[in-house]
Structures are given as structure tokens and as C-alpha cells.
Chain A
Amino acid sequence: MASRHPDWSLEAGQCVLEALSEHERLVLPALQALQNAFGFVPAEAVRLVASSINVSVAETHGVLSFYRELRTTPPAAVTVSLCSAEACQANGARALVDEVAAFLAPVGGRSAEGEVDVVEVFCLGNCALGPAALVNERLLGRVDLASLSRAVDAARHEVIA
């Protein structure tokens, strides 16, 4: 499967943590740095972060499990984040979520061919041009199934290229 990220290894993880600035030597920034680098936080990274920051494994796991965006499994090549909050609801977001579920995957799921994750987010700050979605880091406004599919295809090609 195509990936946006390099492979995880303990040594590569160590390098990421060593690159943190003095003010970022905290659990959340450390986990974020790992996720930015590898696309997810592998189970064995928890111990690495705990010993590197000098906090308990329990506390590290607590932070990892608190934040919705931090993930412990590799992401698909493309992540579609659908806004499900009020301003987008007023513009048909609920119907879009249903259409995407039928066409790609339900919220929290992965498409059949394994290349697209669909997640729910609450507000992308594009409330005047809803429904809004994020395809990897590209924001879409006035989105419908057709424009979303085009953006997903473009993102898929970018990752594979």
C-alpha cells in the first residue's frame, strides 16, 4: 500500500525525539512529532517517549489515548476528514456523510481497496462555505460527492507519485 510516510523503526523514532527543541520535550509534542514523521504512533514508541521525556508509560499512554487525532495504526494513503458540526449540518453535511459512507467508507472506516480513511471532525473553520472537508491537508468548501472524489483521486496520485 502506498504511504505518505517513511517506515517506523526504533532508531528513526529516537532521531525524531532527539530533534525536539528544549521547549517541546513534553509528551504531547513528542507524540505529535512521531505521528508527523511516521503517520502514527506505534505501540513500541510509547516506552521510547516515556523514557525520553522521563514520565511514566501510563501517562504517555494517557495522552496518546486522549487526543482524537493521535493514532496507533498506520493511516491510509488518503484521509478524508468530514466536518460534522452545526454550520456544515445547516448545509447538508449529514446527507454528505451518508453519501460518503455508501461511496467510500463510513465515518471511522476505510475504503474497500484500503486507500482512503474517512474520519469525522468538528469544524474546519470553513463555516461560510460548507459543507467542508479536508483531504489530507487540502481544505475543500461547498463540497459534494463529485468534488470530493476528484480531490481524493488527486491526493491518491500525489501519494503514489
Chain B
Amino acid sequence: MTTVYVPRDSAARSVGADDVADALVRETGSSGLDVTVVRNGSRGMLWCEPLIEVVTDRGRVGYGPSSSADVAGLLEAGMLTGTDHETCVGVVDDHPWLTSQQRVTFARVGVIDPLDVADFEAHGGLSGLRRALEIGPAAVIQEVLDSGLRGRGGAGFPAGIKWRTVSEAVADQKYVCCNADEGDSGTYADRMLMEGDPFTLIEGMVIAGIATGATRGFIYSRSEYPDANATIRTALEVAATHGFVGNDVLGSGYTFELSHRVGAGAYICGEETAMLESLEGRRGMVRSKPPIPALVGLFGRPTLVNNALTLATAPMIIADGGAAYQALGSDRSRGTQVFQLSGNVARGGIVEVPFGISLRAMVEDYAGGTRSGRPVRAVLVGGPLGAYVPAADLDVALDYEAMIAAGGMIGHGGIVVFDDTVDMAEQARFAMEFCSKESCGKCTPCRVGAVRGVEVIDRIRWGVDRADNLVLLNDLCDLMTDGSLCAMGGLTPMPVRSALRHFSEDFER
């Protein structure tokens, strides 16, 4: 029998993976070939999707991008024995795109059947949770502290300190909330993890619950991710059946009940306090801090709020020890970051590497430049609240501190490439427009400032009192940065100012 993998990842499905899988079943069935089609997550080589992988003696041989029309020809050419073909990418594990990466959080994504517990365990699943139960909560928190893991949602707060704060808080009920409201354009790692290895996220949340003394958890995801939500729901049922979530986790006596909740199209609910409001069923209005959610969070109880990638990295850290993770990375950015390449790129996808790699290596080596073949002009790093980096500055190192020093931020690891047809004044206007549409409206600098920002940039673009309006725009950016309640209004000036600083000519047309 031959095993063939075709991803169920929604990016792969968006370009025809379901049709490819159907064609494989149909064609092999009618030819009497003994083939099992497994629907895995995506390897993250998204330009190769749909990527068919055939298990051979040499390893998993890949063919992509494939279409359903290619399947009969591929079978005839001898795909099931790993024969060469114009779409063959060779043994996938030997592909330079993957061999140069260091996958920790994404170690199993694309490799395993996402909903098969046996496959998950055969690839190291649950070893983190088992060790956590052995060493106990205090030692778990020490491992997370030792690992140097920082929040992957964008703020980069040391995870171990947050875990310790919640563990030391005394309350009748504590919560663990996974922020999977991945709204930043150019980011899709949470989605791919939820679709490709959901048990790891669940395992990480159970570990976090045991470590902090929380017995209930929520995964807050987005309605824009229907496939990921369906996979998470099924994964939660399977995990409960296998006893690693719910009452008496793996027979340990610990309880951790986990539920899934979906937003309703509000970017601001990716802000942790707005997410808590939304989880309580209310408008996603940002809360003032202090008090911090670690002490007064969901329903007023101590709550650990971490990004999906942060929680999904915990099992690996506990399994292999904090020191192994800490050994990776640069300066105060320890471990790996799951970068996501997108926009106008020849090769988009997931690149998980230790912090410190240059943006140039990402854009030129991994992404292979633009898809359009035109020169790179600007790269948006860190989502809609990050900075536009000009092509001349691509040597910046991708770590938390180096990006801040360069006037940007690493955010959730999104890297969006634009070619030389981009109008940076239009992008700056969009940053303000996005903020005006997505602001929760609680604080004036964000709610009103973003609307005024659109108007001022329009006047600049139309050439109305340009010099005065540029002064006004800078003043507005200062006010939004200093006066906003959260990062939505506070960081919207970042893309605007980076566009003004590096692409001033676009504002003078």
C-alpha cells in the first residue's frame, strides 16, 4: 500500500487541494491501485500548493503545484514510486526551503495527520504534557522562564513572568485564554497551526492550565477562518475522548476544560482586553490597564492570555527543556519565530528560524523576490501596525530589539512584500482608514484621530496646503501614539510615519 498526502490546509484548498485529493481517489480506484490518501496540514511551501507527497523508500517525494487535471498523468509517469516529473520537488524533507529552517513550533505541521492522535504521539505529541505532570507546576514555570520565550502576539512580553503572575494569584477560578484572533494582514501561522497541528495548541493550553492553576480555558478564533474553526472543534472532541483535556487529564487528577469561541469580524478583538470583553459576550471595547488581565481578567478572575503560537511552543519547551530553546536566537530574542512571507512574493509561506536572521534573507532568499518580477520597493513587517521598510534597509536583523531600534516591530511575524508599483501615500492612507474602521471607539485619539488622519493624508495627496498638513499629520501621529489606550491607535502612526520617512516622494505627486 502507498500513502499519499494532500493537504487539508485552507490555503491549499483555496487553490484546489480537494479536487486533487478527489482525483487521486478516483484515478487510483479505477486503476485498482492500493493507495491511502491522508489529508495533512501544509508544509508551509505555499507556492507549491496543492503539494502531493508520496511516501517512498527515499522519503516523502513532493509534486507541486498540482491540479486535478495533472493527477492521471502523474500516476502514469510513476508518481507512486517517486519518479521524477516536471512538478517534482524531490524529497520534501531535503528541500532547501525546509532544511535551512529550524522548526520547533511548526515541527509537526504538514508532517502528520492533524486529527490522528497516534500520529501526533508518534511525532512527540503529549511528551511535553507528560513531563509537565512529572515535574509539577513550579518546575514548568521555571522551564518557561529559562526558555526566554516571549509573547508571539506582538508585544513580546516574557511568557514565564506572565505564567508566574497568574500562578501566584489567588482566586476561586482562573482561566487560560488563547488569542487566536489573528487579524494582521500577512499573518496566517495561527491558522495553519490550528489546521495542521491542533493537538499541540491544546496540549500547550493544558500545560499552561496546570502550571498556573487554571481549570478552564478558551480558544478565541476568527469567523474568517471557517476551516480552522472546524478543525479545532473536532480536535477538542478527539482530545477529550483521549483524555488529555477535561476531567482528570491523563489520569493525573488535574482538570482543564477547554472551549472554543469565534469572533464576529472585529480586528480589535485581537487586543487582549477587547478579546476578554468579547469572550464575556460584550462589545469588544478595550479595557484600561491596570489592572492587568493576569490578575483581573476574564469575568474578573486571574487570566493567562497568550497568543496561539506562544501556547503551542510550550509543549516543545517542556519536552526538551527551556535551555534547548534558549540556545536559539539572538540577544534578548530567544528561540525561533514563525515568519510568514506574503504579498507580492515568488515563494510565500512559513519560515521558522531562530531570531536574528536578516530581512534581506527572508525577502531575497526565501521569498525569491517579487512574484511580478519587478523590484521590491517596500516590505511591511509586523502587520498593519508595523513599519514599511524600504528596499535599501533590508539588512535589518529580525529580532524584537533590532526592529524597534529601526523604527518598526516584529509583531506576529508577518512579512508583506510590495513591488515598485505601490503608492506609499495610498498605503499610509489605508493605515488610517483601517484604524478608523476597526477602532473600538473607546478613546478619542484613536476613534477621531484615525478619521482626521485619512482627511489630512487626502489633503496632502491632493496638494492642498501640503507643508502645513504634513506638520498637522506629524502632530496627529504624536497624539495618537501618546494618547491612545491600546496599540490600535498607538501604533497606527507606525506605518504612516515609515511611509512618510522613506517614501516622501509619494506624498508629493
Q: Is the A/B pair a real complex?
A: yes
Residues of A within 8 A of B (CB): 23, 26-32, 53, 59, 62-63, 66-70, 81, 83, 85-91, 121-130, 132, 134, 137, 139-142
8 A–B pairs (Cβ distance < 8 Å), ordered by A: A26-B280, A66-B283, A90-B342, A128-B342, A129-B11, A139-B11, A141-B14, A141-B15
Say whether A127 contacts B188, CB under 8 Å.
Answer: yes
Min CB–CB distance B81 → chain A (angstroms): 30
Q: In the complex, what residues of B have CB within 8 A of residue A126's CB?
A: 10-11, 14, 188
Q: Point out residues on B near A: beta carbons under 8 Å.
A: 10-11, 13-15, 46-47, 49, 182-188, 191, 222-228, 259, 261-267, 278, 280-284, 340-345, 348-349, 371, 380, 384, 414, 416-419, 422, 427, 430, 434, 437-438
Residues of B within 8 A of A88 (CB): 185
A130–B342 CB distance below 8 A? yes
Interchain CB contact under 8 A, B282 and A125: no
How many contacts A-B (CB < 8 Å)? 149
Q: Are B185 and A85 in contact (CB under 8 A)?
A: yes
Beyond A28-B282, A91-B371, A125-B224, 14 extra complex contacts between A and B, CB < 8 Å = A67-B265, A67-B284, A69-B264, A86-B430, A88-B185, A90-B417, A122-B267, A123-B185, A125-B225, A127-B186, A127-B187, A129-B49, A132-B14, A139-B226
Q: Closest approach, in angstroms, between the C-beta of A39 and any C-beta of chain B? A: 14
Report whether over half of chain A's contact residues are helix, strand or loop; otherwise say mixed. mixed
Q: Please indicate the chain A residues that have their CB under 8 angstroms from the CB of B226 in the complex.
A: 134, 137, 139
Contact assessment for A128 and B188 in the assembled complex, using a CB-CB cutoff below 8 Å: yes
Smallest CB–CB gap between A24 and chain B, Å? Answer: 8
State the CA gap A128–B97 with chains docked (Å): 15
* Contact in complex: B284, A66 (CB < 8 Å): yes
| Contact present for B11 and A128 (CB under 8 Å) | yes
Checking A26, A67, A70, A139 against B14 with a beta-carbon cut-off of 8 angstroms, the contacting residue is: A139
A25 to B287, CA, bound (A): 22
Contact A28 B185 (CB under 8 A): no
CB <8 Å contact, B342 and A87: yes
With contact pairs A67-B284, A134-B224 given, residues A128 and B185 touching in the complex (Cβ less than 8 Å): no
- In the A-B complex, the 4 residue pairs with the smallest Cβ-Cβ separation, listed nearest first, are A26-B281, A128-B348, A85-B185, A127-B342
Assembly CA distance A59 to B261 (angstroms) = 20
- The answer on a CB contact under 8 Å between A67 and B341 is no
CB distance from A125 to the nearest CB of B (A): 4
Q: Which of B46, B186, B283 contacts A62 (CB under 8 A)?
A: B283
Smallest CB gap from B380: residue in A: A86
Contact A139 B265 (CB under 8 A): no
Residues of A within 8 A of B261 (CB): 29
Are B191 and A125 in contact, with the CB atoms below 8 A?
A: yes
CB distance from A144 to the nearest CB of B (A): 12
Q: Inside 8 A of A30's CB, which chain B residues have their CB?
A: 281
Is B183 in contact with A123, judged by CB distance below 8 angstroms?
A: yes
Contact yes or no, A68 B183, CB < 8 A = no
Cα A83 to Cα B225 in complex, Å, equals 13
B42's closest neighbor in chain A, by CB? A128
Q: Which residues of the partner chain B approach A127 to less than 8 Å between Cβ atoms?
A: 185-188, 340, 342-343, 348, 414, 416
In the assembled complex, the Cα of A53 lies from the Cα of B281 at a distance in Å of 10
Asked if B49 contacts A90 (CB within 8 A), the reply is: no
Q: Which residues of A contact B380 (CB under 8 A)?
A: 86
CB <8 Å contact, A140 and B14: yes
Give CA–CA (A101, B184) in the complex, Å: 25
- Among A62, A125, A127, A140, chain B packs the most CB atoms within 10 A around the CB of A125
**C-alpha spacing A137/B225, complex, angstroms:** 9
CB-based contact B10/A139 at 8 Å: yes
Nearest B residue to A141, CB-CB: B14
Given that A90-B417, A130-B342 are known contacts, is A123 also in contact with B47, CB under 8 Å in the complex?
Answer: no
Complex contacts, A140 vs chain B, CB 8 Å: 14
B278 contacts A28, C-beta separation under 8 Å: yes
- How far is B47's CA from A139's CA once the two chains are assembled, in angstroms? 16
Which B residues touch A85, using CB under 8 A?
185-186, 384, 434
Q: Distance in Å from the Cβ of B426 to the closest Cβ of chain A? A: 8
**B283 close to A122 (CB less than 8 A):** no
Give chain A nearest CB distance to B380 CB in angstroms.
6
In the complex, how many angstroms separate the beta carbon of B189 from the nearest chain A beta carbon? 9
Contact status B282-A59, CB under 8 Å: yes
Q: In the assembled complex, how far is the CB of residue B157 from the closest CB belonging to chain A, in whole angstroms?
A: 24
Inter-chain CA distance A67–B264, complex, in Å, is 6
- Identify which of A66, A123, A124 contacts B184 (C-beta below 8 A): A123
Verify B184–A129 contact, CB threshold 8 A.
no
